[in-house]
Structure 1
Amino acid sequence: MQVSGSGDANGGKARFDDVYDQPDPRAYFRRLAPLEYEIPQRAQAAFRRAAAERDGGTVLDLCCSYGINAALLNHDLTLAELYARYTGPEVADLTGAELAERDKAFYAARRRPDAAPVLGLDVAAHAVRYAREVGLLDDAFAENLEGDEPPSPRLRAAMAEVGLITLTGGGSYLTRRTFAALLPWSRRPLRVSAFVLRTVDYAPIAACLAEYGLRTVVDPSVTYPQRLFTDEREQRFAIETVRALGAEPTGRETEGRFHTVLYESVPASG
Protein backbone atom coordinates (compact mmCIF):
# COMPACT_ATOMS: atom_id res chain seq x y z
CA MET A 1 0.00 0.00 0.00
CA GLN A 2 1.05 3.61 -0.42
CA VAL A 3 2.03 5.50 2.74
CA SER A 4 -0.19 8.36 3.87
CA GLY A 5 -1.03 10.26 7.04
CA SER A 6 1.00 12.31 9.46
CA GLY A 7 2.17 12.48 13.05
CA ASP A 8 4.67 10.74 15.28
CA ALA A 9 4.60 8.97 18.65
CA ASN A 10 7.45 7.24 20.44
CA GLY A 11 7.60 8.89 23.86
CA GLY A 12 6.82 5.76 25.89
CA LYS A 13 9.56 3.56 24.46
CA ALA A 14 12.43 2.61 26.77
CA ARG A 15 15.85 3.99 25.91
CA PHE A 16 19.20 2.26 26.31
CA ASP A 17 21.50 5.24 25.92
CA ASP A 18 24.07 3.86 28.37
CA VAL A 19 24.94 0.91 26.10
CA TYR A 20 24.64 2.58 22.70
CA ASP A 21 27.95 4.44 22.88
CA GLN A 22 30.44 2.25 24.70
CA PRO A 23 33.98 1.66 23.40
CA ASP A 24 32.93 -1.83 22.24
CA PRO A 25 29.65 -3.75 21.79
CA ARG A 26 29.77 -6.14 24.75
CA ALA A 27 27.47 -4.14 27.06
CA TYR A 28 25.02 -3.60 24.18
CA PHE A 29 24.63 -7.31 23.54
CA ARG A 30 24.45 -8.18 27.23
CA ARG A 31 21.64 -5.68 27.75
CA LEU A 32 19.59 -6.65 24.70
CA ALA A 33 20.02 -10.42 24.89
CA PRO A 34 17.36 -10.90 27.62
CA LEU A 35 14.95 -8.80 25.53
CA GLU A 36 15.51 -11.07 22.52
CA TYR A 37 16.26 -8.10 20.27
CA GLU A 38 16.04 -9.65 16.81
CA ILE A 39 15.21 -7.09 14.13
CA PRO A 40 18.71 -7.00 12.55
CA GLN A 41 18.37 -10.73 11.84
CA ARG A 42 14.86 -10.23 10.48
CA ALA A 43 16.21 -7.54 8.18
CA GLN A 44 19.19 -9.49 6.88
CA ALA A 45 17.49 -11.08 3.86
CA ALA A 46 15.67 -7.87 2.88
CA PHE A 47 18.84 -5.81 3.05
CA ARG A 48 20.81 -8.35 1.04
CA ARG A 49 18.09 -8.31 -1.60
CA ALA A 50 17.97 -4.51 -1.66
CA ALA A 51 21.76 -4.31 -1.88
CA ALA A 52 21.76 -6.71 -4.83
CA GLU A 53 19.08 -4.63 -6.57
CA ARG A 54 20.69 -1.25 -6.00
CA ASP A 55 22.14 0.50 -9.01
CA GLY A 56 25.71 0.52 -7.74
CA GLY A 57 27.12 2.78 -5.07
CA THR A 58 27.52 2.31 -1.35
CA VAL A 59 25.09 1.41 1.42
CA LEU A 60 24.41 3.97 4.17
CA ASP A 61 23.14 2.44 7.41
CA LEU A 62 21.34 5.02 9.57
CA CYS A 63 21.59 4.63 13.35
CA CYS A 64 24.27 2.05 12.65
CA SER A 65 25.62 1.79 16.23
CA TYR A 66 28.32 -0.92 16.29
CA GLY A 67 27.79 -1.93 12.66
CA ILE A 68 25.48 -4.86 13.31
CA ASN A 69 23.49 -4.47 10.10
CA ALA A 70 26.76 -4.27 8.15
CA ALA A 71 27.99 -7.40 9.92
CA LEU A 72 24.91 -9.35 8.91
CA LEU A 73 24.77 -7.90 5.40
CA ASN A 74 28.36 -8.63 4.44
CA HIS A 75 29.39 -11.66 6.47
CA ASP A 76 28.34 -15.28 6.84
CA LEU A 77 26.93 -14.68 10.30
CA THR A 78 23.71 -14.74 12.27
CA LEU A 79 22.65 -12.42 15.06
CA ALA A 80 22.62 -15.41 17.41
CA GLU A 81 26.32 -15.92 16.70
CA LEU A 82 27.02 -12.28 17.54
CA TYR A 83 25.12 -12.60 20.83
CA ALA A 84 27.14 -15.70 21.68
CA ARG A 85 30.39 -13.97 20.77
CA TYR A 86 29.93 -10.77 22.73
CA THR A 87 28.24 -12.22 25.81
CA GLY A 88 30.50 -15.27 26.10
CA PRO A 89 33.22 -15.79 28.73
CA GLU A 90 36.02 -15.92 26.16
CA VAL A 91 35.78 -12.15 25.55
CA ALA A 92 34.64 -11.02 28.99
CA ASP A 93 38.11 -10.13 30.31
CA LEU A 94 39.63 -8.72 27.12
CA THR A 95 40.55 -5.09 26.87
CA GLY A 96 38.76 -3.11 24.19
CA ALA A 97 41.92 -3.10 22.07
CA GLU A 98 42.28 -6.87 22.39
CA LEU A 99 38.66 -7.42 21.40
CA ALA A 100 39.05 -5.13 18.39
CA GLU A 101 42.06 -7.08 17.16
CA ARG A 102 40.18 -10.35 17.48
CA ASP A 103 37.14 -8.86 15.77
CA LYS A 104 39.19 -7.75 12.78
CA ALA A 105 40.21 -11.34 12.15
CA PHE A 106 36.76 -12.68 13.05
CA TYR A 107 34.94 -10.56 10.47
CA ALA A 108 37.64 -10.82 7.80
CA ALA A 109 37.38 -14.61 7.90
CA ARG A 110 33.61 -14.46 7.34
CA ARG A 111 33.48 -11.75 4.67
CA ARG A 112 31.14 -12.62 1.81
CA PRO A 113 32.44 -12.37 -1.77
CA ASP A 114 29.47 -10.15 -2.67
CA ALA A 115 30.07 -7.73 0.22
CA ALA A 116 28.86 -4.19 -0.43
CA PRO A 117 30.70 -1.07 0.74
CA VAL A 118 28.86 0.24 3.82
CA LEU A 119 28.92 3.66 5.47
CA GLY A 120 27.50 4.25 8.94
CA LEU A 121 25.78 7.30 10.42
CA ASP A 122 25.04 7.56 14.14
CA VAL A 123 25.37 10.10 16.94
CA ALA A 124 27.25 7.45 18.98
CA ALA A 125 30.87 8.34 18.24
CA HIS A 126 32.44 5.45 20.18
CA ALA A 127 30.20 2.88 18.52
CA VAL A 128 30.83 4.02 14.96
CA ARG A 129 34.55 4.30 15.67
CA TYR A 130 34.60 0.67 16.78
CA ALA A 131 32.65 -0.51 13.74
CA ARG A 132 35.08 1.36 11.48
CA GLU A 133 38.12 0.04 13.33
CA VAL A 134 37.17 -3.64 13.00
CA GLY A 135 36.29 -3.32 9.33
CA LEU A 136 32.50 -3.46 9.41
CA LEU A 137 32.14 0.07 8.02
CA ASP A 138 34.13 1.52 5.16
CA ASP A 139 33.58 4.94 6.65
CA ALA A 140 31.62 6.30 9.62
CA PHE A 141 30.02 9.61 10.54
CA ALA A 142 29.18 10.60 14.11
CA GLU A 143 26.72 13.35 13.26
CA ASN A 144 23.27 14.41 14.44
CA LEU A 145 21.13 15.67 11.56
CA GLU A 146 18.02 16.13 13.68
CA GLY A 147 19.19 19.56 14.81
CA ASP A 148 20.18 22.63 12.84
CA GLU A 149 23.65 21.48 11.84
CA PRO A 150 23.98 20.45 8.18
CA PRO A 151 25.89 17.33 7.12
CA SER A 152 29.63 17.73 7.24
CA PRO A 153 31.46 18.26 3.93
CA ARG A 154 32.78 14.70 4.22
CA LEU A 155 29.29 13.25 4.67
CA ARG A 156 27.92 15.35 1.82
CA ALA A 157 30.64 13.99 -0.45
CA ALA A 158 29.95 10.43 0.68
CA MET A 159 26.21 10.80 -0.04
CA ALA A 160 27.00 11.29 -3.72
CA GLU A 161 27.94 7.60 -3.92
CA VAL A 162 25.09 6.14 -1.83
CA GLY A 163 22.74 3.80 -3.68
CA LEU A 164 20.88 2.30 -0.70
CA ILE A 165 19.90 3.62 2.74
CA THR A 166 19.02 1.05 5.42
CA LEU A 167 17.38 1.47 8.81
CA THR A 168 16.36 -0.83 11.67
CA GLY A 169 14.95 0.59 14.88
CA GLY A 170 16.13 4.13 14.29
CA GLY A 171 12.70 5.16 13.08
CA SER A 172 11.88 5.92 16.71
CA TYR A 173 14.60 8.56 16.83
CA LEU A 174 14.82 9.98 13.32
CA THR A 175 12.42 12.32 11.55
CA ARG A 176 12.22 13.72 8.06
CA ARG A 177 14.88 16.24 9.11
CA THR A 178 17.64 13.65 8.73
CA PHE A 179 16.45 12.58 5.29
CA ALA A 180 15.92 16.16 4.18
CA ALA A 181 19.51 16.89 5.20
CA LEU A 182 20.92 13.92 3.29
CA LEU A 183 18.95 13.59 0.08
CA PRO A 184 19.95 16.90 -1.56
CA TRP A 185 23.47 15.44 -1.80
CA SER A 186 22.40 12.20 -3.48
CA ARG A 187 23.68 11.76 -7.03
CA ARG A 188 22.87 8.11 -7.76
CA PRO A 189 19.55 6.28 -8.17
CA LEU A 190 18.60 5.72 -4.55
CA ARG A 191 16.63 3.11 -2.62
CA VAL A 192 15.58 3.19 1.04
CA SER A 193 14.81 0.02 3.01
CA ALA A 194 13.52 0.75 6.52
CA PHE A 195 12.15 -1.50 9.26
CA VAL A 196 10.06 0.82 11.43
CA LEU A 197 8.16 0.14 14.65
CA ARG A 198 4.38 0.19 14.35
CA THR A 199 4.37 2.85 17.09
CA VAL A 200 5.92 5.30 14.60
CA ASP A 201 4.15 7.11 11.79
CA TYR A 202 6.53 6.90 8.85
CA ALA A 203 4.37 9.05 6.57
CA PRO A 204 6.32 12.32 7.12
CA ILE A 205 9.53 10.56 6.06
CA ALA A 206 7.78 8.95 3.08
CA ALA A 207 6.53 12.40 2.08
CA CYS A 208 10.08 13.74 2.27
CA LEU A 209 11.35 10.88 0.12
CA ALA A 210 8.59 11.60 -2.40
CA GLU A 211 9.93 15.12 -2.78
CA TYR A 212 13.10 13.51 -4.11
CA GLY A 213 11.33 11.17 -6.50
CA LEU A 214 11.02 8.07 -4.32
CA ARG A 215 7.81 6.05 -4.07
CA THR A 216 7.29 4.28 -0.74
CA VAL A 217 5.31 1.05 -0.37
CA VAL A 218 4.51 -1.12 2.64
CA ASP A 219 2.47 -4.24 3.34
CA PRO A 220 1.10 -3.62 6.86
CA SER A 221 -0.22 -7.18 7.09
CA VAL A 222 3.37 -8.47 7.29
CA THR A 223 5.14 -7.57 10.52
CA TYR A 224 8.54 -8.41 11.97
CA PRO A 225 9.14 -8.77 15.74
CA GLN A 226 11.71 -6.39 17.17
CA ARG A 227 12.09 -7.29 20.86
CA LEU A 228 10.28 -8.06 24.08
CA PHE A 229 8.83 -5.17 26.04
CA THR A 230 10.81 -4.07 29.05
CA ASP A 231 7.72 -3.84 31.26
CA GLU A 232 3.93 -3.45 31.27
CA ARG A 233 4.16 0.31 30.92
CA GLU A 234 6.05 0.02 27.66
CA GLN A 235 3.58 -2.56 26.40
CA ARG A 236 0.63 -0.30 27.22
CA PHE A 237 2.30 2.54 25.35
CA ALA A 238 2.82 0.34 22.30
CA ILE A 239 -0.73 -1.02 22.26
CA GLU A 240 -2.29 2.41 22.68
CA THR A 241 -0.06 4.03 20.07
CA VAL A 242 -0.56 1.29 17.48
CA ARG A 243 -4.32 1.65 17.88
CA ALA A 244 -4.09 5.44 17.66
CA LEU A 245 -2.28 5.03 14.34
CA GLY A 246 -5.09 2.87 13.00
CA ALA A 247 -3.55 -0.60 13.30
CA GLU A 248 -4.57 -3.60 15.38
CA PRO A 249 -2.20 -4.77 18.15
CA THR A 250 -4.03 -8.06 18.85
CA GLY A 251 -1.74 -11.00 18.19
CA ARG A 252 1.31 -8.79 17.94
CA GLU A 253 1.98 -6.13 20.59
CA THR A 254 -0.58 -7.77 22.89
CA GLU A 255 1.63 -10.86 22.89
CA GLY A 256 4.56 -8.99 24.44
CA ARG A 257 6.78 -7.71 21.63
CA PHE A 258 7.31 -4.62 19.56
CA HIS A 259 6.63 -5.27 15.87
CA THR A 260 7.95 -3.48 12.82
CA VAL A 261 6.88 -3.17 9.20
CA LEU A 262 9.13 -2.82 6.18
CA TYR A 263 8.93 0.36 4.13
CA GLU A 264 10.69 0.22 0.78
CA SER A 265 11.25 3.33 -1.30
CA VAL A 266 12.41 3.21 -4.90
CA PRO A 267 12.61 5.72 -7.74
CA ALA A 268 9.06 6.51 -8.84
CA SER A 269 10.15 6.34 -12.47
CA GLY A 270 11.69 2.89 -12.01
Structure 2
Amino acid sequence: MAAGAPHTSAGSDWGKADFEDIYDCPDPRTYFRTLRPLDYQIPHHGQLVFRTLTESLQRRRPGPPPLRVLDLCCSYGVNAALLNHKLSLADLYERYTDVPDATGMTTQRLAAEDRTFFDELRRPEAVRTVGLDAARHAVGYAEAVGLLDAGFAENLEAAEPTERLRRTLAGTDLVTVTGGVGYISATTFGRLLACMPTAPWIAAFVLRTVSYEPVARLLAGKGLVTEQLPARTFRQRRFADLAERRAAFGALQARGLETTGKESDGFYHADLYLSRPAADVAALPLERLLP
Protein backbone atom coordinates (compact mmCIF):
# COMPACT_ATOMS: atom_id res chain seq x y z
CA MET A 1 0.00 0.00 0.00
CA ALA A 2 1.10 3.56 -0.43
CA ALA A 3 2.79 5.76 2.08
CA GLY A 4 -0.84 6.39 2.80
CA ALA A 5 -3.49 5.35 0.34
CA PRO A 6 -6.98 6.84 0.32
CA HIS A 7 -9.33 4.32 1.83
CA THR A 8 -12.39 5.21 -0.20
CA SER A 9 -11.22 5.23 -3.81
CA ALA A 10 -11.80 3.07 -6.85
CA GLY A 11 -9.83 0.08 -8.00
CA SER A 12 -8.45 -1.14 -4.68
CA ASP A 13 -9.88 -4.68 -4.73
CA TRP A 14 -6.89 -6.57 -6.09
CA GLY A 15 -6.30 -9.13 -3.39
CA LYS A 16 -4.17 -7.12 -0.97
CA ALA A 17 -4.45 -7.62 2.77
CA ASP A 18 -6.73 -5.12 4.48
CA PHE A 19 -4.73 -2.54 6.45
CA GLU A 20 -7.38 0.17 6.17
CA ASP A 21 -7.55 0.72 9.92
CA ILE A 22 -3.92 1.90 10.19
CA TYR A 23 -4.17 4.72 7.65
CA ASP A 24 -6.37 7.17 9.51
CA CYS A 25 -5.37 6.92 13.16
CA PRO A 26 -4.79 10.00 15.34
CA ASP A 27 -1.01 9.53 14.99
CA PRO A 28 1.47 7.28 13.07
CA ARG A 29 2.40 4.75 15.78
CA THR A 30 -0.02 2.00 14.72
CA TYR A 31 0.98 2.52 11.09
CA PHE A 32 4.68 1.95 11.80
CA ARG A 33 4.11 -0.89 14.29
CA THR A 34 1.99 -2.76 11.73
CA LEU A 35 4.20 -2.26 8.69
CA ARG A 36 7.60 -2.81 10.32
CA PRO A 37 7.30 -6.64 10.49
CA LEU A 38 6.44 -6.60 6.78
CA ASP A 39 9.63 -4.65 5.98
CA TYR A 40 7.65 -1.84 4.33
CA GLN A 41 10.35 0.12 2.51
CA ILE A 42 9.09 1.94 -0.57
CA PRO A 43 9.44 5.41 1.04
CA HIS A 44 13.14 4.61 1.52
CA HIS A 45 13.52 4.13 -2.23
CA GLY A 46 11.47 7.24 -2.88
CA GLN A 47 13.74 9.34 -0.68
CA LEU A 48 16.74 9.12 -3.00
CA VAL A 49 14.67 9.43 -6.19
CA PHE A 50 12.65 12.41 -5.02
CA ARG A 51 15.69 14.24 -3.68
CA THR A 52 17.45 13.70 -7.02
CA LEU A 53 14.45 15.07 -8.91
CA THR A 54 14.02 18.14 -6.69
CA GLU A 55 17.73 18.92 -7.00
CA SER A 56 17.50 18.67 -10.79
CA LEU A 57 14.42 20.88 -10.89
CA GLN A 58 16.07 23.41 -8.59
CA ARG A 59 19.08 23.67 -10.90
CA ARG A 60 16.69 24.49 -13.73
CA ARG A 61 15.17 27.39 -11.79
CA PRO A 62 17.63 28.62 -9.16
CA GLY A 63 16.62 31.16 -6.56
CA PRO A 64 13.36 31.77 -4.69
CA PRO A 65 10.59 30.80 -4.35
CA PRO A 66 11.23 27.22 -3.14
CA LEU A 67 10.16 24.26 -5.21
CA ARG A 68 6.61 23.08 -4.65
CA VAL A 69 6.01 19.33 -4.29
CA LEU A 70 2.63 17.60 -4.08
CA ASP A 71 2.71 14.18 -2.38
CA LEU A 72 -0.31 12.06 -3.34
CA CYS A 73 -1.60 9.57 -0.77
CA CYS A 74 0.61 11.38 1.74
CA SER A 75 -0.78 9.71 4.88
CA TYR A 76 1.21 10.84 7.94
CA GLY A 77 3.74 12.77 5.83
CA VAL A 78 6.32 9.98 5.55
CA ASN A 79 7.61 11.05 2.13
CA ALA A 80 7.75 14.68 3.23
CA ALA A 81 9.70 13.69 6.34
CA LEU A 82 12.28 11.80 4.28
CA LEU A 83 12.52 14.44 1.56
CA ASN A 84 13.00 17.45 3.81
CA HIS A 85 14.75 16.12 6.91
CA LYS A 86 18.07 14.58 7.89
CA LEU A 87 16.69 11.15 8.71
CA SER A 88 15.95 7.76 7.22
CA LEU A 89 12.94 5.45 7.17
CA ALA A 90 14.75 3.35 9.78
CA ASP A 91 14.87 6.43 12.02
CA LEU A 92 11.09 6.81 11.73
CA TYR A 93 10.53 3.15 12.57
CA GLU A 94 12.72 3.56 15.62
CA ARG A 95 10.97 6.73 16.72
CA TYR A 96 7.46 5.32 16.58
CA THR A 97 8.07 1.72 17.66
CA ASP A 98 11.24 1.54 19.81
CA VAL A 99 11.37 4.65 21.98
CA PRO A 100 9.36 3.97 25.18
CA ASP A 101 8.23 7.56 25.64
CA ALA A 102 7.02 7.78 22.06
CA THR A 103 4.97 4.58 22.38
CA GLY A 104 3.36 5.52 25.69
CA MET A 105 2.58 9.24 25.41
CA THR A 106 -0.70 10.79 24.30
CA THR A 107 -1.20 11.88 20.70
CA GLN A 108 -1.14 15.53 21.79
CA ARG A 109 2.19 15.17 23.54
CA LEU A 110 3.65 13.11 20.68
CA ALA A 111 2.64 15.82 18.21
CA ALA A 112 4.34 18.47 20.33
CA GLU A 113 7.48 16.35 20.57
CA ASP A 114 7.39 15.66 16.84
CA ARG A 115 7.19 19.35 15.97
CA THR A 116 10.49 19.90 17.77
CA PHE A 117 12.01 16.65 16.47
CA PHE A 118 11.37 17.44 12.81
CA ASP A 119 12.19 21.13 13.13
CA GLU A 120 15.65 20.31 14.47
CA LEU A 121 16.31 17.91 11.57
CA ARG A 122 14.98 20.06 8.73
CA ARG A 123 17.35 20.36 5.78
CA PRO A 124 18.29 23.87 4.66
CA GLU A 125 17.33 22.93 1.08
CA ALA A 126 13.83 21.77 2.12
CA VAL A 127 11.08 22.22 -0.46
CA ARG A 128 7.50 23.35 0.07
CA THR A 129 5.41 20.19 0.42
CA VAL A 130 1.67 19.83 0.01
CA GLY A 131 -0.03 16.57 0.99
CA LEU A 132 -3.23 15.06 -0.37
CA ASP A 133 -4.98 12.01 1.09
CA ALA A 134 -8.53 11.01 1.91
CA ALA A 135 -7.43 10.11 5.47
CA ARG A 136 -8.36 13.18 7.51
CA HIS A 137 -6.59 12.32 10.77
CA ALA A 138 -3.36 11.31 9.04
CA VAL A 139 -3.20 14.48 6.96
CA GLY A 140 -4.05 16.57 9.99
CA TYR A 141 -1.23 15.02 12.00
CA ALA A 142 1.33 15.57 9.25
CA GLU A 143 0.27 19.19 8.94
CA ALA A 144 0.20 19.75 12.71
CA VAL A 145 3.79 18.56 13.21
CA GLY A 146 5.12 20.65 10.34
CA LEU A 147 5.81 17.93 7.78
CA LEU A 148 3.32 19.45 5.35
CA ASP A 149 3.16 23.13 4.51
CA ALA A 150 -0.46 22.43 3.58
CA GLY A 151 -2.56 19.28 3.85
CA PHE A 152 -5.81 18.36 2.15
CA ALA A 153 -8.11 15.51 3.17
CA GLU A 154 -9.89 15.19 -0.17
CA ASN A 155 -10.81 12.20 -2.33
CA LEU A 156 -10.49 13.27 -5.96
CA GLU A 157 -11.76 9.91 -7.15
CA ALA A 158 -15.16 10.97 -5.82
CA ALA A 159 -15.25 14.76 -6.12
CA GLU A 160 -13.65 17.77 -7.77
CA PRO A 161 -10.94 19.57 -5.77
CA THR A 162 -12.00 22.39 -3.49
CA GLU A 163 -11.17 25.95 -4.45
CA ARG A 164 -8.51 26.12 -1.73
CA LEU A 165 -6.80 23.03 -3.13
CA ARG A 166 -6.98 24.46 -6.66
CA ARG A 167 -5.26 27.65 -5.57
CA THR A 168 -2.59 25.76 -3.64
CA LEU A 169 -1.75 23.43 -6.54
CA ALA A 170 -1.02 26.23 -8.99
CA GLY A 171 2.74 26.36 -9.47
CA THR A 172 3.41 22.74 -8.45
CA ASP A 173 6.81 21.58 -9.76
CA LEU A 174 6.77 17.88 -8.84
CA VAL A 175 4.07 15.33 -7.97
CA THR A 176 5.15 12.23 -6.04
CA VAL A 177 3.39 9.00 -5.13
CA THR A 178 4.80 5.81 -3.60
CA GLY A 179 2.30 3.09 -4.37
CA GLY A 180 -1.12 4.77 -4.27
CA VAL A 181 -1.88 4.08 -7.95
CA GLY A 182 -4.61 1.47 -7.96
CA TYR A 183 -6.31 3.25 -5.09
CA ILE A 184 -6.20 6.43 -7.13
CA SER A 185 -6.72 6.35 -10.88
CA ALA A 186 -6.41 8.59 -13.93
CA THR A 187 -9.46 10.44 -12.56
CA THR A 188 -7.42 11.89 -9.71
CA PHE A 189 -4.50 12.81 -11.97
CA GLY A 190 -6.82 14.52 -14.45
CA ARG A 191 -8.46 16.62 -11.75
CA LEU A 192 -5.06 17.58 -10.35
CA LEU A 193 -3.58 18.64 -13.68
CA ALA A 194 -6.64 20.78 -14.38
CA CYS A 195 -5.49 22.90 -11.40
CA MET A 196 -1.95 23.35 -12.72
CA PRO A 197 -1.41 25.89 -15.51
CA THR A 198 2.10 24.50 -16.10
CA ALA A 199 2.43 20.72 -16.16
CA PRO A 200 4.69 19.40 -13.37
CA TRP A 201 7.00 16.42 -13.36
CA ILE A 202 5.24 13.33 -11.96
CA ALA A 203 7.21 10.55 -10.25
CA ALA A 204 5.18 7.45 -9.41
CA PHE A 205 6.20 4.16 -7.82
CA VAL A 206 3.55 1.74 -9.06
CA LEU A 207 3.09 -1.86 -7.93
CA ARG A 208 3.62 -4.26 -10.81
CA THR A 209 0.22 -5.80 -10.07
CA VAL A 210 -1.35 -2.55 -11.34
CA SER A 211 -1.23 -1.08 -14.85
CA TYR A 212 -0.05 2.53 -15.14
CA GLU A 213 -1.16 2.72 -18.77
CA PRO A 214 -4.45 4.59 -18.15
CA VAL A 215 -2.60 7.28 -16.20
CA ALA A 216 0.19 7.49 -18.78
CA ARG A 217 -2.37 7.95 -21.57
CA LEU A 218 -4.05 10.76 -19.69
CA LEU A 219 -0.70 12.45 -19.00
CA ALA A 220 0.23 12.16 -22.69
CA GLY A 221 -2.91 14.13 -23.50
CA LYS A 222 -1.58 16.85 -21.19
CA GLY A 223 1.77 16.98 -23.00
CA LEU A 224 3.76 14.76 -20.63
CA VAL A 225 6.03 11.95 -21.80
CA THR A 226 6.07 8.98 -19.41
CA GLU A 227 9.21 6.85 -19.08
CA GLN A 228 9.70 3.73 -17.01
CA LEU A 229 13.02 3.32 -15.24
CA PRO A 230 14.54 0.29 -16.98
CA ALA A 231 16.36 -2.69 -15.60
CA ARG A 232 15.21 -2.60 -12.00
CA THR A 233 12.21 -2.66 -9.70
CA PHE A 234 11.81 -1.58 -6.06
CA ARG A 235 10.64 -3.69 -3.15
CA GLN A 236 7.52 -2.33 -1.44
CA ARG A 237 6.83 -4.78 1.42
CA ARG A 238 6.58 -8.48 2.17
CA PHE A 239 3.40 -10.33 1.34
CA ALA A 240 1.26 -10.44 4.46
CA ASP A 241 0.17 -14.05 3.91
CA LEU A 242 -0.10 -16.81 1.35
CA ALA A 243 -3.47 -15.59 0.06
CA GLU A 244 -2.02 -12.17 -0.71
CA ARG A 245 0.95 -13.77 -2.49
CA ARG A 246 -1.35 -15.93 -4.60
CA ALA A 247 -3.50 -12.93 -5.54
CA ALA A 248 -0.42 -10.92 -6.52
CA PHE A 249 0.97 -13.75 -8.65
CA GLY A 250 -2.42 -14.11 -10.34
CA ALA A 251 -2.51 -10.39 -11.16
CA LEU A 252 1.03 -10.51 -12.51
CA GLN A 253 0.27 -13.56 -14.63
CA ALA A 254 -2.76 -11.77 -16.06
CA ARG A 255 -0.46 -8.89 -17.04
CA GLY A 256 2.04 -11.29 -18.63
CA LEU A 257 4.80 -10.44 -16.15
CA GLU A 258 7.42 -12.84 -14.83
CA THR A 259 7.94 -13.04 -11.08
CA THR A 260 11.36 -14.72 -11.07
CA GLY A 261 13.90 -12.51 -9.34
CA LYS A 262 11.14 -10.14 -8.30
CA GLU A 263 7.96 -11.13 -6.44
CA SER A 264 9.37 -14.63 -6.06
CA ASP A 265 11.48 -13.13 -3.26
CA GLY A 266 8.33 -12.71 -1.15
CA PHE A 267 7.90 -8.95 -1.69
CA TYR A 268 5.62 -6.75 -3.72
CA HIS A 269 7.73 -4.95 -6.32
CA ALA A 270 7.08 -1.53 -7.85
CA ASP A 271 8.16 0.09 -11.11
CA LEU A 272 9.19 3.73 -11.22
CA TYR A 273 7.58 5.99 -13.82
CA LEU A 274 8.61 9.57 -14.51
CA SER A 275 6.45 11.88 -16.62
CA ARG A 276 7.87 15.16 -17.93
CA PRO A 277 7.31 17.65 -20.75
CA ALA A 278 8.93 16.46 -23.99
CA ALA A 279 11.49 19.29 -23.94
CA ASP A 280 12.71 18.20 -20.50
CA VAL A 281 13.01 14.59 -21.63
CA ALA A 282 15.10 15.67 -24.61
CA ALA A 283 17.31 17.95 -22.52
CA LEU A 284 17.98 15.42 -19.78
CA PRO A 285 17.46 11.74 -20.64
CA LEU A 286 16.22 9.47 -17.88
CA GLU A 287 19.41 7.41 -17.81
CA ARG A 288 21.37 10.56 -16.96
CA LEU A 289 18.82 11.92 -14.52
CA LEU A 290 18.42 8.66 -12.59
CA PRO A 291 21.47 6.53 -13.40
State the TM-score, normalizing by the size of structure 2: 0.87
> Is 1:107 the counterpart of 2:110 in the alignment?
no
Aligned to 1:32: 35
Structure 1 vs Structure 2 CA RMSD: 1.3
> Is 1:263 the counterpart of 2:266 in the alignment?
no
CA distance in 1, matches of 2:265, 2:85: 32
Aligned to 1:119: 130
For residues 186-265 of structure 1, the aligned pairs below 5 Å read 186-265=196-275
Note the residue ranges of structure 2 that are not aligned, 5 or more in a row.
1-10, 281-291
CA distance in 2, matches of 1:57, 1:103: 24
Aligned to 1:169: 179
Q: CA deviation at 1:196?
A: 0.6
CA displacement 1:116-135 (0-9 Å, x = unmatched) = 00000000000000000000
Change in Cα spacing, 1:79 to 1:13, as seen in structure 2 (3 Å) is same
Count of residue pairs the alignment pairs up: 262
Q: CA deviation at 1:63?
A: 0.1
Asked if the contact 1:10/1:200 (under 8 Å) is kept, the reply is no
Q: Which amino acid aligns with 1:145?
A: L
SS of residue matched to 1:114? coil
Change in Cα spacing, 1:183 to 1:101, as seen in structure 2 (3 Å) is same
Asked if the contact 2:205/2:272 (under 8 Å) is kept, the reply is yes
Q: CA deviation at 1:189?
A: 4.3
Q: CA deviation at 1:110?
A: 0.5
Match for residue 69 of structure 1 among 50, 60, 79: 79
Match for residue 143 of structure 1 among 142, 146, 154: 154
Q: Which amino acid aligns with 1:45?
A: L
Asked if the contact 1:131/1:137 (under 8 Å) is kept, the reply is yes
SS of residue matched to 1:170? coil
CA distance in 2, matches of 1:140, 1:215: 28
Aligned to 1:4: none
Asked if the contact 1:59/1:164 (under 8 Å) is kept, the reply is yes
> Is 1:13 the counterpart of 2:16 in the alignment?
yes
CA distance in 2, matches of 1:246, 1:206: 19
Q: CA deviation at 1:219?
A: 3.0
CA distance in 1, matches of 2:110, 2:166: 32
Q: Which amino acid aligns with 1:204?
A: P
For residues 82-93 of structure 1, the aligned pairs below 5 Å read 82-88=92-98, 89-93=100-104
Aligned to 1:23: 26
Q: CA deviation at 1:52?
A: 1.7
Deviates more, 1:52-61 or 1:227-236: 52-61
Q: Which amino acid aligns with 1:124?
A: A
Match for residue 52 of structure 2 among 30, 49, 59: 49
CA distance in 1, matches of 2:232, 2:67: 29
Asked if the contact 1:159/1:187 (under 8 Å) is kept, the reply is no
State the TM-score, normalizing by the size of structure 1: 0.94
CA displacement 1:121-166 (0-9 Å, x = unmatched) = 000000000000000000000000111x210001111111211000
> Is 1:130 the counterpart of 2:141 in the alignment?
yes
CA distance in 1, matches of 2:80, 2:28: 14
Q: Which amino acid aligns with 2:134?
A: V
Note the residue ranges of structure 1 that are not aligned, 5 or more in a row.
1-7
SS of residue matched to 1:193? strand
Asked if the contact 1:10/1:199 (under 8 Å) is kept, the reply is no
SS of residue matched to 2:27? coil
Asked if the contact 1:61/1:118 (under 8 Å) is kept, the reply is yes
Change in Cα spacing, 1:57 to 1:115, as seen in structure 2 (3 Å) is closer
Asked if the contact 2:54/2:67 (under 8 Å) is kept, the reply is no
